[in-house]
Structure 1
Amino acid sequence: MDVQHILLVILSLRLGLLDLQASAVKQEEKESMPSGPRIAIIGSGIGGSSCAYYLHKLLPNAQLSIFEANDRIGGRIMSVNIEGVIVEVGAAAWASANQYIMELAKEMNLSIFDAKPKLPRTDRLDLLLNQQSALSIGVWDGYALHDIEKLVIDNLKSTAITVAEIAEFLLKLKLNYFQREDEGPFRNITEYLAYGKLTEYTSKSTLQYLSEHNVELELLKYFIEPLMIHIYDQELDMHSFAAFASLTSLLTSAHSVTSGNSKLPKALVNASKAEVHLNSKVHTITNDNTEYTIAFTHDGKNESITTVDAVVIAAPLEWTGITFKNIQPDPSSSQPHRDWVFWYVHFVVAKSINNTYFHQPDQWSAPDNIFTTANVSLPWASIQLYQPLPNSNIYKLFCTQNLTTHMDEYFIGVRSVYTHHWVYTFPRLIPITDPEDFQDIQLHDGLFNINTIESIASAMEVPVINARNVAQLIADAVNRDYGYDTYQNDC
């Protein structure tokens, strides 16, 4: 090694040491700050729990309080045990393209597994061409079960176009992450969508976008739309961002926490060192110049108040029922209102799917997934084989009605039924062309709204994106108050 190389190595080592020393000094400065800001987080789902975690990383001395109206942490993530199997009643999995969720699971030391069959990258197109062996999907139109394998092969060109468009969407998502890391926190959803040029996807319906790219209507109606109904209970009028966010699972791995996805928000809350108030419903937020007074009930009766410096609402504004005082304009009336979808989720332990319901012979081998078309009025949207058991199976159903007492119509040998009613699951994801149709991220000085970002998609990663962003906005404001540099990406 010549002298020049030796000098470069020494310089690199010194620079690395200086970076480590600077990082250590920065952390010591944060920890030596006076008692940090008091921050209330309303909601303990993946948005609220991850925001608490990021805030603790950015502001170690912050006094964090989480207010959760229910008796558990997790929001729309809920894992339960059925017949010794951990099943996901809420958010079931995330794609490997979801950078922040992947990072959080790793930082929490949670074991994850691939939640779908793993295929070599060269076989991704085969995933769409060989439904029987890879996905085993049937689509029911109320009269007949459609052969998806034949449909895909008959529409080979449209299938290839769809795959190419999914790949392009994934590249733009990756660019969005990269550009935001350089630029710092975003102030509104339009600004977020500008990174990676994602605005086109939220401004066009799935039908419009894919039709413009010459995808045949038959593939749209009998494959893409049934998949949208299964995931969102929404049809081709849903904007294409949400559609592509769902379709990414066709080209990437899907992951879940081995011990149940509920472990993730719980681990994040524990790591945040936040004070947690379960069964505590916030009903009033009052602005008192530089502070906020939070009024809440505990167990539906005991009235309490607390004073904080900032508030993060990590639940849909439409469902919080919060009264805002001394805050103009009033968020409860000034922010765009979104309509929401609800689900009944059933887990059924049964011997098999009832072949007679689907007009099939006795020896019929049912597909693993049965979706429905938009032109049929059924109380269920999909039936999935969730987990085979020694002498029976666990099936999962997404329904628009409570079908607990009707399972003998759909299954043979029903042993048990577990039912959960989600009062709200997803907002109606209609195309948005006017930036004013997105809710604000910052509702008032020190008052933030994480859930506005769910207008682009309902997936575990999406609220985490804005939770991380809001934590950075708050940390920037605190750092300015203490004379520190803003936007130091320590998340």
Structure 2
Amino acid sequence: MLELNLFFHSVWLSIAIAVTDIPPPQSIAVIGAGIGGSAAAHFLRQQFGGDVRIDVYESEEVGGRLATASIDGQDYEVGATAIHPLNLYMKGFAQMLGLKELQLPNEVQAVYDGEEFVFEDSDWFIVNAIKLVWRYGFDYLRVKMWVERYLHRFMRIYQFQSGGYCFTTVERLLHAVGGDGLAQMTRHSIDEALQNVGIGQRFLNEMITPVLRLSSGQSVNINAFVGMISLLRADSDLWTVGGGNKLVCSGLLYAAKVNLIKGTVTSIHSKRRPQRNGEFVHLYEVNYTEGSVAGHNTYDLVILATALHPGKSPIRFHDPAQPISVHSSRYQEKVVTLVAGCLNASYFGQKHSEPFRPTAIATTAHAGSLILAASVAVPVTAEPDRQPPSCARVWRLLSPEPLAAAEVSRLVASPQAVREARWLAHPRYSPSDEASPFILHRHLYHLNAVEWAASTMEMMAISAKNTALLAHHRWYWQLEKVDQDTVAHGQKVEL
């Protein structure tokens, strides 16, 4: 036994000595300049230093699904809007880049079931509490405690990442920070999870489902983890970036000193090139088109930070020796329609003589409504009004399908201006046992694998940090912090 231990020790020592001579990568490609790709470029620069060349490919606007649209002389978010106060990476990015945090106003919320408002906020907290208890018992408190319990576990990811720990799959990440309880949340629905803690059907139908329709366009059949993340949208103290959330992306790219290539990546090929010593170096050839011009570059590492979904992604992968398998899923399209005008109260069963108070309206699954939600739109260029007027200037209508002009007129009386934006927001969520790997090939990584669990700005930033750490540790064979379930004692959270 002693001889065997000495043998393994000598083998490990020889590997450790060998890997100290590994030269750093010369070039890294990041495909996609949304929040995931931009954050990845930032973290890759931190991990690999200033000498490596980082090329970021983006065929459209920097920011990806963080986008704004102009209507009536103001810019409004048409992609991801709100940032939670516990989103530590987004908060850190804004502070590092000198961007202003704009607090979003507290909304007067209402839930529409197709005939009437089954719940409407009061101006008084105590009145709201009484209304919630009267209609739903203590389900609101039970759900709040359930969310906080699992959120507290997930927040440990910052402690892991500050210590340099990373994971090869989404499931391993969730298991490390939250044990079996958190890892299992992707394998069953939020409906099942909340019923198991005693939440009644009325609360599921009238409170949980409307929030999920707003965040994911789906109902309580989604996995419990994305459901838990979605329910954070009901919290107060949400904020947005002054000038638009997309400024985080452009700021991170500028700070990381990347080369931005405005092209569409068409294929990625694994290549082996012989060296003078007889060994082979493994590279990736990235082929792209920029307008009508085709080009290609070679890289040591490639980070995919773009959505891959059947029939939509133009990227092909090829390795003559080893198949490159990419997990893809159908994405959920959302349509945001900005409309200047006054919301039609009669559509929601309200009399014109009554004051129309709600500034955010969610719908139940049985509402039969044209929309998933409607809310007062907040300009990105100015501090929002703390108390928006009852007849708001611009409404943000969220729907699963484009709204016809007649349908817009039913929702907004005499619309003065209309602007529509469509985007593939996130995968179609469902409980799944399938592992979502971050590693696709030797040094080819898929940052968006995290979306099968949940897709938010902060989740993409967390995945970017994980991918940058994974790429670094695997390049230098520093594997002691890959797929570990514990962090070093006394490790502090430092962003």
Settle same-fold status: TM greater than 0.5.
yes
How far off is 1:363 after superposition?
Answer: 2.2
Tell me what 1:196 maps to.
178
Within the candidate set 293, 298, 301, 2:290 is matched to 298
Secondary structure in 2 aligned to 1:292? strand
One-letter code aligned to 2:243: S
Tell me what 1:87 maps to.
76
Tell me what 2:468 maps to.
471
Secondary structure in 1 aligned to 2:140? helix
Within the candidate set 82, 91, 97, 1:108 is matched to 97
CA distance in 2, matches of 1:67, 1:217: 47
Q: Is the 8 A contact 1:314 1:450 kept in 2?
A: yes
How far off is 1:101 after superposition?
Answer: 1.4
Q: Is the 8 A contact 1:239 1:429 kept in 2?
A: yes
CA distance in 2, matches of 1:221, 1:420: 28
Q: Is the 8 A contact 1:479 1:485 kept in 2?
A: no
CA distance in 2, matches of 1:490, 1:146: 45
Could you give the per-residue CA deviations for residues 383-434 of structure 1, whole angstroms, max 9, x where no partner exists? 1122447985110011122215132111123110011111x111122112x2
How far off is 1:376 after superposition?
Answer: 3.7
How far off is 1:297 after superposition?
Answer: 0.6
Secondary structure in 1 aligned to 2:460? helix
How far off is 1:484 after superposition?
Answer: 12
CA distance in 2, matches of 1:249, 1:243: 10
How far off is 1:204 after superposition?
Answer: 2.1
Tell me what 2:57 maps to.
67
CA distance in 1, matches of 2:375, 2:152: 30
How far off is 1:476 after superposition?
Answer: 2.3
Secondary structure in 2 aligned to 1:413? strand
Within the candidate set 438, 443, 450, 1:441 is matched to 438
Tell me what 2:395 maps to.
395
One-letter code aligned to 2:172: E
Tell me what 1:54 maps to.
43
Q: Is the 8 A contact 1:74 1:266 kept in 2?
A: yes
1:173-184 map, 5 Å: 173-182=154-163, 184=165
Structure in which a larger fraction of residues adopt helix: 1
Secondary structure in 2 aligned to 1:234? coil
In the alignment of these two chains, the number of paired residues is 431
How far off is 1:177 after superposition?
Answer: 2.7
One-letter code aligned to 1:292: Y
Could you give the per-residue CA deviations for residues 21-79 of structure 1, whole angstroms, max 9, x where no partner exists? xxxxxxxxxxxx98852111110000000100111122221101011121x10010012
Structure 1 pair 486/382, CA: closer, same or farther in 2 (3 Å)? closer
CA distance in 2, matches of 1:391, 1:373: 23
1:127-146 map, 5 Å: 135-146=107-118
How far off is 1:84 after superposition?
Answer: 4.2
One-letter code aligned to 1:168: R
Within the candidate set 237, 241, 244, 1:260 is matched to 244
TM-score normalised according to structure 1 size: 0.82
The answer as to 2:363 corresponding to 1:372 is yes
CA RMSD between the two structures: 2.6
Tell me what 1:239 maps to.
223
How far off is 1:247 after superposition?
Answer: 1.6
Q: Is the 8 A contact 1:151 1:219 kept in 2?
A: no
Structure 1 pair 445/345, CA: closer, same or farther in 2 (3 Å)? same
CA distance in 2, matches of 1:138, 1:360: 12
CA distance in 2, matches of 1:50, 1:115: 24
Secondary structure in 2 aligned to 1:90? coil
Tell me what 1:272 maps to.
256
Unaligned ranges ≥5, structure 1: 1-32, 118-134
One-letter code aligned to 2:420: T
Tell me what 2:421 maps to.
420
How far off is 1:112 after superposition?
Answer: 0.7
TM-score normalised according to structure 2 size: 0.81
Could you give the per-residue CA deviations for residues 308-362 of structure 1, whole angstroms, max 9, x where no partner exists? 111110012224321111166544xx44432221011111000x21122223211
One-letter code aligned to 2:401: Q
How far off is 1:169 after superposition?
Answer: 2.1
Tell me what 1:124 maps to.
none
CA distance in 2, matches of 1:337, 1:359: 42
CA distance in 1, matches of 2:115, 2:321: 54
Q: Is the 8 A contact 2:104 2:240 kept in 1?
A: yes
Q: Percent same amino acid among aligned pairs? A: 23
One-letter code aligned to 1:176: I
CA distance in 2, matches of 1:485, 1:157: 46
How far off is 1:252 after superposition?
Answer: 5.4
Structure 1 pair 361/288, CA: closer, same or farther in 2 (3 Å)? same
Structure 1 pair 485/236, CA: closer, same or farther in 2 (3 Å)? closer
CA distance in 2, matches of 1:357, 1:74: 35
One-letter code aligned to 1:51: A
How far off is 1:81 after superposition?
Answer: 3.6
How far off is 1:183 after superposition?
Answer: 6.2
Could you give the per-residue CA deviations for residues 114-160 of structure 1, whole angstroms, max 9, x where no partner exists? 2243xxxxxxxxxxxxxxxxx42222222222124545542131111
Tell me what 2:213 maps to.
229
Tell me what 1:459 maps to.
456
Could you give the per-residue CA deviations for residues 364-388 of structure 1, whole angstroms, max 9, x where no partner exists? 3141112111124433111112244
The answer as to 2:264 corresponding to 1:281 is yes
Structure 1 pair 169/340, CA: closer, same or farther in 2 (3 Å)? same
Structure 1 pair 179/309, CA: closer, same or farther in 2 (3 Å)? closer
